[in-house]
């Protein structure tokens, strides 16, 4: 099994735009393993515990992204691969997928797991694009997964708006994890200490056999023109009138202003 | 001096933080109200390898460093000082003497299950007549054939009724003062050993505190811990590490006080503006932040110094004294900033206020820390 992971700013990080106006400033920001990827790692570990096999985590990112790999190793993943090259940086979902798909050509797998989205740029594209590039089926936003190793199939449940859908797919396939799939374990202390000793395999542009024009900024399909911090923080509103009046006011606001009714 | 956390220290801190946020904070008010010791949480901490954190893998531990341990204490104390104190007593006071002074056989038999988290340990030093004056121990141990016969009572012992093993001190050479004290390992179930009633306490209410009672208690001869008549020196060394641990607890509690007080001050509006806009409130918060930072970084540095093998008697007393008094001040000011809400159990600061006092008493009162520092200065 392969799990695709990303190192992202944690949800409490205060985001500021970096000089140049096209990326965020990393100063003072705490980065973590993307929460949806944690579900993916956990699911892979559970499958391994049930069915055997190996779990390899793969990331593309700067030097600090090793921490996301270490976290997954500490949870119990067996191997880690880091796609690390300045030429790979600054790209979009397209160019990242190209590099990941290339790396996956050399890693045997029956199943690829990933988070349904990375909580930093929320594109939800990397998983599906990797599956397309590899020519394998994909099931996204999965909340329940059953693998039949003998039949080489998987049944996945997807929570849709108001109903759920059960999909069966042959393996190998790519599955993206939604909240609810499982409760990720904490990495144990012995796991953390062991992770420190595990080797992280690094792949650069040359070892991937890719050309600089295909990846990173050069290989992207869409380009960020400008980033802006919202001018005013969204604020909650507290209705202070007595309960009947407040209820009426709330209903009016939900209908008129929030337009959710 | 390069001072950066390693990846492993960051991960250990995150583990402790996540555990505290998910499994301690949601339940701590109930534990505090009922005074129940959450043994199930300690089983969980055992599974995660936290109960043997600083001990080598060969003894069932995780082999992490003291700074990692300090970070775990700090995070746990942000959630519950009671839980964190029991954890600290298990590691620093119960297990550490087994590790430092135990024979191979003793470590295999007692340290391994403790470090693996299957057992809890406690440390019995204090007696009704020997508190600050810990050398005034009256508990006695007399050799009778192949057994030690122990008589006496230890009081205010953390983890007493939960521990599967106790490390205690007793007089083995009458009239020799502090040179006639030895340490012993007493397993739960030793004949003549029982635990007294739990104390009803002001703070750290979910930490288990009770008496250890020895009435012609018999333990095998080989349960002497370390050398005969060296018990006093041994526990002074144990307490150096313990005081560093208490400093870390204080840092965690002070952080929790600052977090609560700051958040409240930014939200609560009086006289048309948030409390945090009044200079009198700002100065309280600034003092809390300043003292907290000094306590925190002194404690972190001391953890590194300890691992370098240095004697830290004076520094551990300084860390414990400063951090515990800073935490007590922070708790007082946090209640003040929250006003009546700080006085009610609706907010956790009233618990912080009750818990903080323990920091100035346990493992040597503030007065005793000053005494130790003065002695180390050569007074
Ligand atoms: C919750 C809790 C948990 C504890 N856990 C443990 C444990 O696990 N193991 C253990 O062995 N003990 C434990 N203790 C006991 C603790 O270590 C003692 O309470 C502490 O050392 C003080 O002793 P005392 O209470 O007898 O106070 P006393 O020694 O009677 O002191 C009373 C007051 O007199 C002051 N005083 C005493 N001597 C001097 C002096 N020479 N100069 C100036 N002032 C002085 C003290 O500072 C204090 O203010 C615990 C206590 C509590 C409250």
The full set of domains in chain A, from first to last, is 2-219 (3.40.50.620), 231-261 (no CATH)
Q: Is the pLDDT confidence value at A206 over 90? A: yes
Structure tokens at B334: 């946090």
Question: In testing the pocket of ligand 1, which one of B320, B361, B374, B375 has its CB within 8 Å of the most ligand atoms?
Answer: B361
Most A CBs within 10 A among B15, B112, B259, B266, hence the mutation to make, goes to B15
Tokens of B62: 């995780």
Domains of chain B plus CATH, in order, are 7-120 (1.10.540.10), 122-231 (2.40.110.10), 233-376 (1.20.140.10)
pLDDT score at A256: 81
Task: Give the per-residue pLDDT at A24.
Answer: 84
Q: What is the CA radius of gyration of chain A?
A: 21
pLDDT surpassing 90 at residue B51? yes
Q: List the single residue in A66, A70, A193 with the smallest CB-CB distance to B64.
A: A193
Between A251 and B244, the more confident residue is B244
Cβ atoms of B368 and B243 within 8 Å: the answer is no
**pLDDT at position B277, please?**
97
CB-ligand 1 contact for B9 (6 Å cutoff): no
Q: Is residue B110 classed exposed, middle or buried when 0-12, 13-18 and 19+ CB atoms within 10 A define those classes?
A: buried
Residue closest by Cα to atom 32 of ligand 1: B132
Q: Long-range contacts of range A146-154, CB-CB < 8 Å, 24 or more positions apart?
A: A147/A47, A147/A51, A147/A111, A147/A171, A149/A51, A152/A110, A154/A111
Chain A CB contacts of B15 below 8 Å: 186-189, 192
Q: Report, as an integer, the average pLDDT of B23-42.
A: 97
List the structure tokens of B64.
């992490």
DSSP 8-state symbol, B214: E
For residue B60 the two structure tokens come to 């069932």
At residue A234, the pLDDT reads 64
Nearest CB among B10, B14, B63 relative to A193 is that of: B63
- What phi and psi values does residue B29 have, to the nearest 5 degrees? -65, -40
Over residues B279-308, the mean pLDDT reads 97
Q: How confident is the model at residue A32 (pLDDT cuts 50, 70, 90)?
A: very high
**What residues pair up with B169 in beta bridges, in sequence order?**
B183
> pLDDT category, B320, cuts 50, 70, 90?
very high
B367 lines ligand 1 (CB under 6 A): yes
Ramachandran region, residue B63 (left: φ > 0; alpha: ψ -120 to 50; beta: rest): left
Judge whether B363 counts as a catalytic residue: yes
A186 touches chain B (CB under 8 A): yes
Query: How many angstroms is it from B134 CA to the middle of ligand 1?
Result: 9
Residues 82-141 on A with a CB inside 8 Å of B are none
The pLDDT score that the predictor gives to residue B122 is 98
Cα separation, B315 vs B319, whole angstroms: 6
- 3-state DSSP assignment of residue B203: coil
Worst-scoring range by mean pLDDT, A9-13, B131-135, B175-179, B207-211?
A: A9-13
- Pocket test of ligand 1: the residue of B126, B195, B317 to mutate, having most ligand atoms within 8 Å of its CB, is B126
Q: What percent of chain A has pLDDT over 90?
A: 67
- CA pair distance B98, B167, nearest whole angstrom: 8
**Tokens for B259?**
């977090």
**pLDDT of the residue at A232:** 64
Which of A230-234, B334-338, B358-362 is predicted least confidently? A230-234
Rounded to two decimals, the ipTM of the complex is 0.85
Whole-number Å distance between alpha carbons of B225 and B93: 14
Q: Do A70 and B7 touch (CB under 8 A)?
A: yes
Band the pLDDT of B349: cuts 50, 70, 90. Answer: very high
pLDDT band at B2 (very low <50, low <70, confident <90, very high): low
Kindly state the tokens that stand for B194. 């029982």
Q: Picking from A25-29, A235-239, B309-313, B318-322, which range would have the lowest pLDDT averaged per residue?
A: A235-239
Cross-chain CB nearest to B15 (options A67, A187, A196):
A187
The verdict on a CB contact (< 8 Å) between B7 and A196 is yes
Question: For B214, phi and psi rounded to 5 degrees?
Answer: -115, 115
Identify the pLDDT of residue A240. Answer: 81
Among B35, B132, B184, B366, the mutation site with the greatest number of ligand 1 atoms within 8 A of its Cβ is: B132
Residues 64-123 of B with CB under 8 A from A: 64
Q: How confident is the model at residue A258 (pLDDT cuts 50, 70, 90)?
A: confident
Report the residue from A32, A67, A186 with minimal CB separation from B48. A186
Residue of chain A nearest B48, judged by CA positions? A188
Structure tokens at B102: 């135990």
- Using CB atoms within 10 A of its CB, is residue B200 exposed (0-12), middle (13-18) or buried (19+)? exposed
Tell me the torsion sign for CA atoms B107, B110, B113, B117.
negative
Asked if A76 has any chain B CB less than 8 Å from its own CB, the reply is: no
Identify which of B209, B214, B202, B201 has the alpha carbon closest to the alpha carbon of residue B171.
B214
Question: Mutate which of B48, B64, B75, B87 to disrupt the A interface (most A C-beta within 10 Å)?
Answer: B48
Give which of B356, B363, B348, B351 is closest to B328, Cα–Cα: B356
Cβ-Cβ contacts under 8 Å, A189 against chain B = 12, 15, 48-50, 53, 62, 64
Task: Report which protein residue has its CA nearest ligand 1's atom 25.
Answer: B131
The most confident of A32-36, A237-241, A254-258, by mean pLDDT: A32-36
For residue A193, the Cα-to-chain-centroid distance in whole angstroms is 25
Alpha-carbon span B347 to B341, nearest angstrom: 7
Distance B171 CA to ligand 1 centre (A): 19
Q: How confident is the model at residue A102 (pLDDT cuts 50, 70, 90)?
A: very high
CA distance B183 to B232: 8
The Cα–Cα gap between B280 and B265 comes to: 11
Read off the pLDDT of each residue in A199-210 and give the average, rounded to a whole number. 94
Minimum mean pLDDT among A5-14, B23-32, B122-131: which range? A5-14
- Mean pLDDT across chain B: 97
Alpha-carbon distance B348 to B237, whole Å?
35
Which is more confident, A228 or B176?
B176
Of ligand 1's listed atoms, the one at least distance from the Cα of B366 is 47
Chain B residues with beta carbon closer than 8 angstroms to that of A190: 49, 57, 62
Atom of ligand 1 nearest to the CA of B159: 8
Q: Using the predicted structure, report yes or no on whether residue A236 has a pLDDT greater than 80.
A: no
pLDDT at B334 over 80: yes
pLDDT value at residue B336: 98
For the purposes of burial, counting CB atoms within 10 Å of the CB of B370, is it exposed (0-12), middle (13-18) or buried (19 or more)? middle
pLDDT digits (tens, 9 = 90+) for B152-209: 999 999 999 999 999 999 999 999 999 999 999 999 999 999 999 999 999 999 999 9
In A67-95, which positions are buried (b, 16+ CB within 10 angstroms) versus exposed (e)? bbbbbbbbbbbbbbbbbbbebbbbbbbbb
- Which parts of chain B fold into alpha helices (H)? 7-19, 28-34, 39-47, 66-79, 81-88, 96-101, 104-106, 112-115, 231-267, 279-307, 313-343, 349-359, 366-377
Indicate which residue of B211, B363, B367, B376 is catalytic: B363
pLDDT tens per residue across span B70-103: 999 999 999 999 999 999 999 999 999 999 999 9
Asked if pLDDT for residue B121 goes beyond 70, the answer is yes
How close is the Cα of B366 to the center of ligand 1, in Å? 9
For chain B, percent of residues with pLDDT exceeding 90: 99
Task: Provide the pLDDT for residue A83.
Answer: 96
Sign of the dihedral defined by the CA atoms of residues A142, A145, A149, A151, in that order: negative
CA of B365 to the centre of ligand 1 (A): 6
């Amino acid at each position: 099994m392969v799990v695709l992971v990303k190192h992202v700013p944690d949800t409490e990080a205060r985001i500021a735009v970096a000089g140049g106006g096209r990326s965020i400033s990393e100063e003072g920001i705490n980065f973590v393993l993307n929460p949806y990827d944690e579900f993916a790692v956990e699911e892979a570990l559970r499958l391994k515990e049930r069915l055997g096999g190996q779990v390899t985590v793969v990331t593309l990112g700067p030097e600090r992204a090793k921490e996301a790999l270490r976290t997954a190793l500490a949870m119990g993943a067996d191997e880690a691969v880091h796609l690390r090259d300045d030429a790979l940086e600054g790209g979009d979902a397209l160019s990242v997928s190209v590099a990941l798909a290339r790396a996956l050509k050399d890693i045997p797998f029956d199943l690829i797991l990933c988070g349904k989205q990375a909580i930093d740029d929320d594109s939800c594209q990397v998983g599906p694009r990797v599956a397309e590039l590899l020519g394998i089926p994909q099931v996204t936003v999965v909340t329940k997964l059953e693998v039949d190793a003998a039949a080489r199939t998987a049944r996945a449940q997807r929570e849709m708006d108001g109903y759920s859908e059960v999909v069966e797919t042959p393996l190998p396939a790519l599955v993206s994890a939604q909240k609810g799939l499982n409760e990720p374990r904490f990495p144990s202390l012995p796991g953390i200490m062991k992770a420190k000793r595990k080797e992280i395999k690094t792949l650069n542009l040359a070892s991937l056999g890719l050309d600089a024009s295909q990846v990173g900024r050069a290989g992207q399909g869409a380009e960020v023109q400008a980033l802006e911090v919202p001018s005013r923080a969204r604020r909650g509103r507290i209705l202070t009138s007595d309960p009947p009046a407040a209820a009426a006011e709330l209903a009016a606001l939900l209908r008129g202003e929030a337009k959710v009714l | 001096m390069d001072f950066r956390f390693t990846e492993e220290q960051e991960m250990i801190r995150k583990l402790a933080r996540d555990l505290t946020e998910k499994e301690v904070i949601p339940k701590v008010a109930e534990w505090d109200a009922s005074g129940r010791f959450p043994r199930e949480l300690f089983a969980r901490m055992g599974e995660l390898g936290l109960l043997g954190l600083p001990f080598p893998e060969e003894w069932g531990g995780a082999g992490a460093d003291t700074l990692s341990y300090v970070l775990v204490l700090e995070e746990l104390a942000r959630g519950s000082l009671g839980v964190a104190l029991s954890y600290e007593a298990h590691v620093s006071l119960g297990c550490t003497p087994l590790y430092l002074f135990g024979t191979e056989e003793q470590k295999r038999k007692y340290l391994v299950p403790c470090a693996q988290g299957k057992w809890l340990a406690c440390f019995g030093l204090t007696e009704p007549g020997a508190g600050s004056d810990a050398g005034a121990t009256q508990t006695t141990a007399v050799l009778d054939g192949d057994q030690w016969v122990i008589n006496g009572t230890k009081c205010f012992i953390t983890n007493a009724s939960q521990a599967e093993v106790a490390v205690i001190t007793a007089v083995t050479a009458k009239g020799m003062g502090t040179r006639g004290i030895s340490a012993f390992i007493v397993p739960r179930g030793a004949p003549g050993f029982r635990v007294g009633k739990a104390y009803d306490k002001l703070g750290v209410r979910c930490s288990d505190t009770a008496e250890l009672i020895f009435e012609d208690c018999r333990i095998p001869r080989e349960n002497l811990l370390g050398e005969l008549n060296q018990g006093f020196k041994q526990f002074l060394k144990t307490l150096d590490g313990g005081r560093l641990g208490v400093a870390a607890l204080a840092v965690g509690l002070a952080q929790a006080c600052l977090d609560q007080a700051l958040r409240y001050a930014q939200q609560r509006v009086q006289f048309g503006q948030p409390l945090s806009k009044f200079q009198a409130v700002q100065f309280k918060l600034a003092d809390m932040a300043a003292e907290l930072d000094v306590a925190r970084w002194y404690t972190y540095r001391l953890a590194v110094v300890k691992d370098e093998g240095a004697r830290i008697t004076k520094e551990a007393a300084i860390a414990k004294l400063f951090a515990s008094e800073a935490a007590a001040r922070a708790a007082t000011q946090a209640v003040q900033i929250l006003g009546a809400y700080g006085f009610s159990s609706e907010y956790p600061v009233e618990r912080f206020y009750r818990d903080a006092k323990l920091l100035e008493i346990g493992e040597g009162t503030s007065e005793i820390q000053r005494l130790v520092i003065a002695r180390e200065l050569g007074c």
